[in-house]
Amino acid sequence: MARAPLRSFGAAVRSFGKAVGRRGTAARALLRRPDRPGAPGQPARRPLRRAPERHAGVLPELARERRARPWLRALGLTAVTVLGAWLGLLTVGNVHKPVGPMDTTMTLRPSIEGGTRINVAPLGALELESHTAPLRLDVDVTRLDPERVGFLVDRPETIDGLQDRVTADVESGTRDLAVRSSLAVVLGATTLGLAVYRRPRRALAAGGLALALLAASAGTAAATWNPKAVLEPKFSGLLAGAPSLVGNARSIASDFDVYQKELARLVTNVTKLYNAVSTLPTYAPDPSTIRVLHVSDLHLNPASWSIIESLVDQYEIDVVIDSGDTMDHGTAAENSFLDPAAELGAPFVWVRGNHDSLTTQQYLREMDNVHVLDNGEPVDVAGLRIAGMGDPQFTPDRSVIAAGDPAERASGRALAEILRLHAEAGRPADIAVAHNPVLAEEIDGAVPLALAGHTHNRKQHDLPRGTRLMVEGSTGGDGLRAVEGEAPADVQASVLYLNQDTRRLQAWDEITLGGLGLTSAEVRRHYVDDPLAEPSDAPSAQPSPTGSAPSGTATPEDPPSPPAREPASTATPN
């Protein structure tokens, strides 16, 4: 009896559920209709909209992505702007500007630390901590203008105003560079923005942002400008030796008035030096002699080539012998200094010094009219057989400890043995060439005449077994080192006269030109029979052989017939 009421209650619940289901179906059908007319006099009702349940969990991520997109767009626009501005600077953002006697190219470059870099090819570069900004100023010195340099040489008094002209040129170049760089960054950023976005508005935004970044960088550079940076430059390349050669930059900057006067004097004296060479005494040619010009230790002095060429022309030289140290560091960057050797008007015979590298030697081997001596292999030039041995040491290489005189003597003994073998084979050498006199002393008796350099101190003496050793001074006037001493070093060379039949030395002329600041040109004639002083360990700026006859004066003894020449003289041009 109790089950009957329960069945009745369940039936009632099921009936109610079915009724609710029918009501829900009708409601859903009503919602799917686009419009449902209302009661008379009432507006039609819009269907209710519900957010689809299947997207309920995705909406927060979409919202976050939409909030992040502006930052991504800004980052992309900045990257396009910076890249386009950099490409614009590389393409058209440079200015070619004369600064004093130099032609330069000025360029702005992106940089983390900023500063200024001055490139002087092929010598190297110097860097100035002039400012701190994301831009670096590069100044490339492309060349020296011959006309402007010639004007300074011809009129040294114009150097007084050189500082003002250089300052004005730099200021003008900086203004032109600022304008050109602004146009370059705007053009580069706009062009790249148009290529990437294909929307003019975005491209113009990139150009404007580039200009704003350039202005901000310029403002930072101006705020951090350090005018004292020129007093403490950082040198690289061959210019790394500049502080020890030209003095402290701080003293030059603080005493610029004194410096420019010295510079004017330097230019004037170089001109007088050339004039002194051109007025050296000349001699009547004698076909019975072979004329050899012995030079040594040029050490990168560019004036040396003009001096050698002038001597070759005036003395009608048959062959030039260079006993080494033509270079200073032996780097490939210095090789262009050697180019005049092929155009001196006479064959050029060269032996490696301790400042010349194998790179230097190979460069000379490939040049016309140049003969490189090494390993005792003789060459036949101008009727003479000449042999030599390159210096076994390369002292600019600080990674190698110098072997000193023992290495020189070992190489000398090897050269002596080779010379004796050639003599036994019927091919004796007339002249042997080495750079270091210590090496040359080991070939005593193997050859009648030995030439050397290295000491920057001219001297001659006869070795015990009969070889005459002639050590030449510096034809480069000590090169760039000439500015280090209190007194300028002389420029020295010698002309040797050899008999054409016997190929033996008859006489020689010692030619001495005043160094920088001096204008003298002295020629001293010596004959082979003049007694020579024994070598001395005492230093001497310019030793004179005992009993030498200055200015062509004959000695009491009757010497062999010297070359037919006009008497030599001491010349001091005005």
DSSP class of residue 159 equals G
Q: What does pLDDT average to over the chain?
A: 74
pLDDT average, residue stretch 201-226: 87
Residues near 412 by beta carbon (within 8 Å), at least 6 away in sequence:
389, 434, 438, 439, 440, 441, 442, 443
Residue 527 has pLDDT above 90, yes or no: no
- pLDDT of 448: 96
Measured between alpha carbons, how far is 553 from 524 in angstroms, rounded to an integer? 9
- pLDDT of 379: 96
Of the pLDDT bands very low, low, confident and very high (cuts 50, 70, 90), residue 198 is: confident
Measured between alpha carbons, how far is 273 from 205 in angstroms, rounded to an integer? 63
pTM exceeds 0.75: no
Measured between alpha carbons, how far is 280 from 260 in angstroms, rounded to an integer? 30
- pLDDT of 529: 72
C-beta separation of 498 from 384 below 8 A: yes
C-beta separation of 82 from 213 below 8 A: yes
What does the block give as tokens for 507? 């006489």
% of the chain at pLDDT higher than 90: 29
Minimal CA–CA distance to 551: which of 534, 569, 535, 539?
A: 569
Residue 203 has pLDDT above 60, yes or no: yes
- pLDDT of 550: 34
Residues near 312 by beta carbon (within 8 Å), at least 6 away in sequence:
293, 320, 344, 345, 346
Could you tell me if residue 203 is left (phi over 0), alpha (psi between -120 and 50 degrees) or otherwise beta? alpha
Q: How many CB atoms lie within 10 A of CB 113?
A: 11
Strands 379-381 and 384-388, bridge-based pairing: antiparallel
Higher pLDDT, 291 or 239: 291
- pLDDT of 470: 97
- pLDDT of 126: 73
Least confident interval from 50-54, 154-158, 484-488, 542-546: 542-546
DSSP class of residue 333 equals G
- pLDDT of 566: 37
Residue listed under structure tokens 């019975």: 288
Minimal CA–CA distance to 476: which of 466, 488, 456, 491?
A: 491
- pLDDT of 151: 66
CA distance readout (Å), 345 to 287, 368, 369, 532: 18, 12, 9, 32
Least confident interval from 180-189, 224-233, 234-243, 342-351: 234-243
- Give per-residue pLDDT as tens, 63-75: 555 555 777 878 8
- pLDDT of 343: 93
- pLDDT of 324: 94
Higher pLDDT, 100 or 324: 324
- pLDDT of 418: 96
- pLDDT of 149: 63
- Give per-residue pLDDT as tens, 8-56: 555 654 565 555 455 555 545 544 555 445 455 555 555 545 544 444 4
End-to-end CA distance of the chain: 155
Residues near 117 by beta carbon (within 8 Å), at least 6 away in sequence:
125, 126, 127, 128, 136, 137, 138, 139
What does the block give as tokens for 336? 């262009």
Residue 534 has pLDDT above 70, yes or no: no
Residue listed under structure tokens 């052989």: 545
- pLDDT of 468: 96
Of the pLDDT bands very low, low, confident and very high (cuts 50, 70, 90), residue 322 is: very high
Least confident interval from 276-290, 312-326, 340-354, 537-551: 537-551
The CA R_g of the chain, rounded to the nearest whole Å, is: 43
C-beta separation of 416 from 389 below 8 A: no
3-state secondary structure of 423: helix
Residue 260 has pLDDT above 70, yes or no: no
Higher pLDDT, 561 or 46: 46
